[in-house]
Structure 1
């Protein structure tokens, strides 16, 4: 597999691993989403000023308002964070 194909497979595997914990196997509950962020993006949570900020971010992931985070919503988060990191790292 190419590097991009490998990255895509890893994204799917990470999502599926955490989604399998509770609730539906194809969505993340609030608890699963929080655990995923704590384990996979610890720097993001450390940068949060307080728990309310983390809760607001988790709620913001649920674009369609169904109280769950599906894979599409998860990918949007990853893409947004990737863009933010890339823009910060670009030298002008």
Structure 2
């Protein structure tokens, strides 16, 4: 994009959130949704340390089930944001209680 004015930290975080979703969602099927395979790749690459998905083979299945509110077998952007928000709340609690 053309040069922009400096974005705030929160605006930058929102842009990153959007870009990460679309980086993984565009690989197969509907480019506006994450398939189970795309979700697994995103979780392992972007949130592996937090979720430890590599160790628990059922973790991705459970997360997919919890997130997929409309039952279509895919995670749309709104469902993805719910995951990120829930993890952010959990991290906030953990870091503030252990500060």
Pair in the same fold by TM > 0.5? yes
Which structure has more relative contact order (CA 8 Å, sep 6+)? It is 1
Q: How does 1:1-92 map to 2 (within 5 A)?
A: 1-46=7-52, 50-91=56-97
Moved over 4 A (4+): none
1:14-72 CA distance string (max 9 Å, x none): 00000000011100001000000010011134267631233112221111111110000
3-state secondary structure, aligned to 1:90: helix
- What SS class does the counterpart of residue 70 from structure 2 fall into? coil
Q: Aligned residue pairs: how many?
A: 92
When Rg is computed on C-alpha atoms for both structures, the one with the higher figure is: 2
- Give the unaligned 5+ runs of structure 1: none
Bigger share in helix: 1
CA contact (8 A) 1:45 1:54 kept: no
**What root-mean-square deviation, in Å, do the aligned CA atoms of Structure 1 and Structure 2 show?**
1.8
